[in-house]
Amino acid sequence: MTTPTDKPSAWYLLTQSPVRIQLLLFLVLRTVLNTGFRMIYPFKPAIARGLGVEESAIDLAVTARSTLGLFSPLIGTVGDVRGRKVAILAGLLIFVGGMALVFLLPSYPTVLLAMIATTASKVLIDPAVYAYLADHVDYRQRGLAIGITEFGWSGAFLLGIPVVGWFIANAGWSSPFLALSVVGVGLLALVYYSLPADTPHHEAGLSALRRGLAHILGNPAALAGVAVGVLISASNEIVNIVFGRWMEGAFAVQLLTLAAASAAIGASELIGEGLVAGLVDRIGKRRSVALGLLIYAGVSLLLPVIGVNQDGAILGLFLFYLGFEFALVASLPLMTELAPQARATLMASNGAGHALGRLLGSLIGPALFAIGSLGLNALIACILNLVALALLLLFIREQPAG
């Protein structure tokens, strides 16, 4: 359970808190996992060539792994049923197995299995990490704690992906899978020896799953929190799925320009996570999410206005993803306290909500773009964020643990 401290400061959390070592471990762990998850996108052509398949086959694999996220509540509840440490170790074992399988038997089926294994590992590990931090970090510091571990998302893009590119260029397309499996084994050992064992608080088996889901379904604030996650992710994916096509069509951009846009997105993610770590605990979680959604909605509406030229488009995308990252990451510490009796299950359900939002956005986005170019996509993204803001204000109240 959460243990309050008389020193709810960033300095205390980073230098004296008993969980400071776990924070660093979780940061490294999530950077590695997210590298394995995100490397498919920039290196899809190289992987497809190595496998001798069309890129569309890799796209199908991405869709297949995305559907697994919809089952997050069933998988992620392991953190409540068996304990946080067991869930993290199980996720790492799956990750290592999937990565090693591709190197040992390089083929399209093993790449598909590895992609699904990576998603399964995240579905197990991410809710367990959030729940562990909620168990051990005072609510007044939780925005900072979760913000630190969220650097693993942008860190994968800014640090992990360049390393993967170096491996592919110098040792072949399958070499990063071996490297990630080796690093995963090291992380297994670190988690096993440095993460204290925890005792599950609920009965094991299906009864625990039913109890956790029933607690969430009977909690309007928790349901509203999941719905907010669906809307945030859908609004992002509606633009994310078409921005490359928009820039190519509007400005006849080359590959280097798209790379610059990708770098701007990576920088916005890093800054957004940094703002969450530095501000959310000071101004309040609910207020931070509301502010983030309001800014995100405004930037969404202005995106086609700002993007009248190539430089404006990159600036607009930077602001759009900055608003998205801040709103999304700020919502995580708020979610951890909406259903304390089923933390891992709720955070897994939240992950399923984000997966559903991305799926809906990927289906709706191209159709909207075909009707009204980027302007219609941006308008719908704005509306979805305003609906999310309304749900937040109507149904969610901040109730700090203590």
In this prediction, residue 2 has a pLDDT band, given cuts at 50, 70 and 90, of very low
Topology alike, domains 10-201 and 210-395: yes
Kindly report the number of other CB atoms within 10 A of residue 104's CB atom: 12
Of residues 192, 220, 213, the one with CA closest to residue 91? 192
Judge whether 204 and 79 are in contact, CB under 8 Å. no
Q: Judge whether residue 322 has pLDDT over 90.
A: yes
List Cβ<8 Å contacts ≥24 apart for 296-300: 296/232, 296/235, 296/320, 296/323, 296/324, 296/326, 296/327, 296/385, 297/381, 297/382, 297/385, 297/386, 297/389, 298/323, 298/382, 299/323, 300/235, 300/239, 300/378, 300/379, 300/381, 300/382, 300/385
Provide the pLDDT for residue 95.
97
Q: What is the arithmetic mean of pLDDT over 271-278? A: 92
Q: Higher model confidence: residue 89 or residue 65?
A: 89
* Block residue for tokens 């290196």: 43
Q: How confident is the model over 40-54, as a mean pLDDT? A: 86
- CATH assignment of 210-395, given 3.40.50.300, 2.60.40.790, 1.20.1250.20, 1.20.1280.290? 1.20.1250.20
Distance (Å, whole) CA 243 – CA 314 = 10
Output the pLDDT for position 9.
58
* pLDDT at 270 > cutoff 80: yes
Residues 182-186: contacts with CB within 8 Å, 24+ apart? 183/32, 184/32, 184/92, 184/95, 184/96, 184/99, 185/96
- Percent of the chain with pLDDT strictly greater than 70: 88
Domain boundary assignment for the chain: 10-201, 210-395
Q: Judge whether 184 and 95 are in contact, CB under 8 Å.
A: yes
Contact yes or no for 272/281 (Cβ under 8 A): no
Contact 277, 154 (CB under 8 A): no
Rounded-to-integer distance, Cα 248 and Cα 221, Å: 42
The yes-or-no verdict on residue 180 having pLDDT over 50 is: yes
Quote the pLDDT of residue 1.
Answer: 41
Specify the higher pLDDT residue, 249 or 54. Answer: 54
Give the model's pLDDT for residue 317: 85
Report the chain's C-alpha Rg in angstroms: 20
- Give the pLDDT band of residue 86 (cuts 50, 70, 90): very high
Q: How confident is the model at residue 56 (pLDDT cuts 50, 70, 90)?
A: confident
pTM above 0.85, yes or no: no
> Which residues, in sequence order, are CB contacts of 253 under 8 Å at separation 6+?
247, 310
d(CA 249, CA 257): 13
pLDDT digits (tens, 9 = 90+) for 130-156: 999 988 888 888 889 999 999 998 888
**Distance (Å, whole) CA 50 – CA 167:** 14
Say if CB 392 and CB 290 are below 8 A apart. yes
CATH number of 10-201: 1.20.1250.20
Taking all residues of the chain, what is their mean pLDDT, rounded to a whole number?
A: 86
Q: How high is the pLDDT of residue 105?
A: 95
Residues belonging to the chain: 402
- Is the pLDDT higher at 267 or at 395? 395
Q: Which residues contact 299 (CB under 8 A, 6 or more apart)?
A: 316, 319, 320, 322, 323
pLDDT band at 206 (very low <50, low <70, confident <90, very high): low
Q: Name the more confident of 66 and 184.
A: 184
Q: What pLDDT is recorded for position 209? A: 67
Distances (CA, A) of 40 to 47, 54, 151, 231, 302: 8, 14, 19, 25, 31
In the prediction, which pLDDT does 46 show? 86
Percent of the chain topping pLDDT 90:
50
Per-residue pLDDT, 401: 47
